Chains A and B, each alone.
Chain A
């Protein structure tokens, strides 16, 4: 489904991604792990089409279509979804209005009729239950005043509403307590489907206890340095990134404490 070949990307003239190669088939869940600064978030943002990052070479296709030449909104309409690490707060735009506009943009793209406010409200209430988000949050501004956990649940709610082909989850576990982690993981597991690919980006392996990946890749200094199965994550957990000869300041700092 997703094919990344020799992807190079930079921001402000500094190269962050230095030749990524990755193949993800429909139905698979891949985890990308790596220390801070390895390029995990850059990869997510580049796939979603953030033009703050410049792709300098390489190729990315989604079901054979060149993804890189498409605008962000076109990518989204064709099934790319990014759950943000830090979802932005947008006061003045209600969550409900935002989500309905988004769902209708997708429906319009597929030639389906738009959902009216009442139809959408019904759907949104159902899906908000699935991520344990009080429907009162629908009336608030987008992410406005949400806690870290509520923001992440709001992201997963959008994924459930939009039913993407490729869901990219950027540090979806960060800032979550154990209960919220369970809720978010249940939401992600509900997304698992044979016609959908999931790419999880994470620093720690604890998310992978809840969402078991088919493949694990280790990203370091803009390159995938090792790939394996689930057991690779467990090994990283036990031995740290240093085991692979990777310097990880965050891990080093936390083990020093």
Chain B
């Protein structure tokens, strides 16, 4: 007899925060009802095969983290920013553009009509069967931001969205962002996930982008939560004709880190470029699952992911490209390289191509290796210390991707975190 599956505890199905417009409350309720009896992923769940053992949700973590009187860390972020603490926006810490062609609204400030329209569109960018936890976010979000760019609107500098959890007690947070990029509009959105405090917490975030014809969106996502934070996040993207989406995901490991990124190329001539860097150490985990759906013809996708795993850590990459029957002249390129810095580290990588059109260019490659002994010897034979040689070669593995991050302040943040990683990973003998 098959053992009964472990279900998501019903403790997780009680949303907090009722100050939302009716249509969003109704959506939440409906999504919550769908999650009753949701089995938690196990080793047998294909898309959680390598990661289910890291998911350790307890009922103490089911309660929403308190949001009153939380101001978060002082963040020196240049330019526009929106600060979310424990899934709820903090207006006094935020500073965003006051423009008539770019509207940034909290869910709670939407009229019933606007909320009703939004409720129709939430979750539509994601395959919620494959990304089960996006549904949990929809059942639990307490606040959220909808960013609307009118046609031709251009945001002149990056908008930072800082998602912080203050883990003074166990609990969870469900931040939600929806970006509606109108025709030929442009925006660079930086999401930073950080934490303070030490108690075990769960972050379940969802960010969605819809790109109208000719829209140009750059999304930088930094996952930098602490060792007490289990984070399951999803990003969904739909792209209409000739739109361009660029993603730079930089992730540092944790007890559980999962990011699903799904892009749907729905209009001809749309292109996406997905870059990813993951570093893990200690007993950390990080799992990236990406899916690119080539639905329309003449679309380009380019994906480059690098994982670096030290000590006894574990990184996972699963990249799926699905070329639909009508998507002729698709051009898809996926490349995943992995670096193991220790014999105790583990990396699992799985490129998946599903091609139903006959006139396409599709390439993929995945490699796993260690630092090259010959290169190390060459460097130390020039007086360079082993530590420095290790750092140079490890940086060489991801330099190209870090250099492509289009916001200098973010590049600096990433480099600082990488230096901390190197300090731990390569201690001077």
Binding site for B on A (CB under 8 A): 48-50, 52, 71-73, 76-77, 82, 84, 87-88, 90-93, 97-98, 101-102, 105-106, 109, 141-142, 158, 162
Q: Is the CB of A98 within 8 A of B392?
A: yes
Q: Is the CB of A90 within 8 A of B375?
A: yes
| In the complex with contacts A88-B374, A92-B397, A73-B380 CB distance below 8 A | yes
| In the complex with contacts A73-B385, A105-B385, A105-B388, A92-B395 CB distance below 8 A | yes
Q: Which of B377, B396, B397, B400 contacts A72 (CB 8 A)?
A: B377
CA gap between A90 and B374 in the complex, in Å = 10
B386 within 8 A of A: yes
Q: Which residue of A lies closest to B400 (CB)?
A: A92
Other 12 A-B pairs with CB < 8 A, given A90-B379, A92-B393? A48-B381, A72-B380, A73-B380, A88-B378, A90-B396, A92-B399, A93-B392, A93-B395, A93-B396, A105-B383, A162-B382, A162-B383
Distance between B419 CB and nearest chain A CB, rounded to angstroms: 15
Distance between B366 CB and nearest chain A CB, rounded to angstroms: 18
Q: Is the CB of A87 within 8 A of B378?
A: yes
Q: Is the CB of A98 within 8 A of B379?
A: yes
B384 within 8 A of A: yes
CA gap between A48 and B380 in the complex, in Å = 10
B354 within 8 A of A: no
| In the complex with contacts A50-B377, A101-B392, A105-B388, A88-B382 CB distance below 8 A | no
Q: Is the CB of A101 within 8 A of B396?
A: no
Q: Is the CB of A158 within 8 A of B399?
A: no
CA gap between A106 and B385 in the complex, in Å = 10
Q: Which residue of A lies closest to B399 (CB)?
A: A92
CA gap between A109 and B385 in the complex, in Å = 11
CA gap between A101 and B382 in the complex, in Å = 9
Contacts of B379 in A (CB 8 A): 90, 98, 102
Q: Is the CB of A71 within 8 A of B383?
A: no
Contacts of B392 in A (CB 8 A): 90, 93, 97-98, 101
Q: Which residue of B lies closest to A102 (CB)?
A: B382
| In the complex with contacts A90-B396, A92-B400, A101-B377 CB distance below 8 A | no
Q: List 11 A-B contacts (CB under 8 A).
A: A49-B380, A76-B382, A76-B383, A88-B372, A88-B375, A90-B375, A92-B395, A93-B396, A93-B399, A101-B384, A109-B383
Number of A-B residue pairs having CB atoms within 8 Å of each other in the complex: 71
Q: Is the CB of A92 within 8 A of B384?
A: no
Contacts of A102 in B (CB 8 A): 379, 382-384
Contacts of A158 in B (CB 8 A): 382
CA gap between A141 and B386 in the complex, in Å = 19
Q: Is the CB of A91 within 8 A of B377?
A: no
CA gap between A84 and B395 in the complex, in Å = 24
Contacts of B399 in A (CB 8 A): 92-93
Contacts of A109 in B (CB 8 A): 383
Q: Which 5 A-B pairs have the closest CB atoms?
A: A92-B396, A76-B383, A102-B382, A105-B383, A73-B380
Distance between B372 CB and nearest chain A CB, rounded to angstroms: 7
Q: Which residue of B lies closest to A158 (CB)?
A: B382
Q: Which of B373, B375, B388, B397 contacts A101 (CB 8 A)?
A: B388
Distance between A156 CB and nearest chain B CB, rounded to angstroms: 14
| In the complex with contacts A91-B396, A92-B397, A98-B392, A76-B378 CB distance below 8 A | no
CA gap between A92 and B399 in the complex, in Å = 6
Contacts of B386 in A (CB 8 A): 71, 73
| In the complex with contacts A92-B399, A92-B400, A82-B383 CB distance below 8 A | no
Distance between A72 CB and nearest chain B CB, rounded to angstroms: 5
CA gap between A48 and B384 in the complex, in Å = 13
Q: Is the CB of A76 within 8 A of B372?
A: no
CA gap between A82 and B383 in the complex, in Å = 11
Contacts of B373 in A (CB 8 A): 52
CA gap between A109 and B378 in the complex, in Å = 18
Contacts of B377 in A (CB 8 A): 50, 72
Q: Is the CB of B393 within 8 A of A90?
A: yes
Q: Is the CB of B396 within 8 A of A76?
A: no
CA gap between A105 and B400 in the complex, in Å = 25
Distance between B369 CB and nearest chain A CB, rounded to angstroms: 13
Distance between A213 CB and nearest chain B CB, rounded to angstroms: 23
Q: Which residue of B lies closest to A143 (CB)?
A: B378
Q: Is the CB of A72 within 8 A of B372?
A: no
CA gap between A219 and B392 in the complex, in Å = 37
Distance between B11 CB and nearest chain A CB, rounded to angstroms: 48
Contacts of B396 in A (CB 8 A): 90-93, 141
Q: Is the CB of B378 within 8 A of A73?
A: no
Q: Which residue of A lies closest to B378 (CB)?
A: A88
Counting chain A CB atoms within 10 Å of each CB, which of B372, B379, B381 scores highest?
A: B381
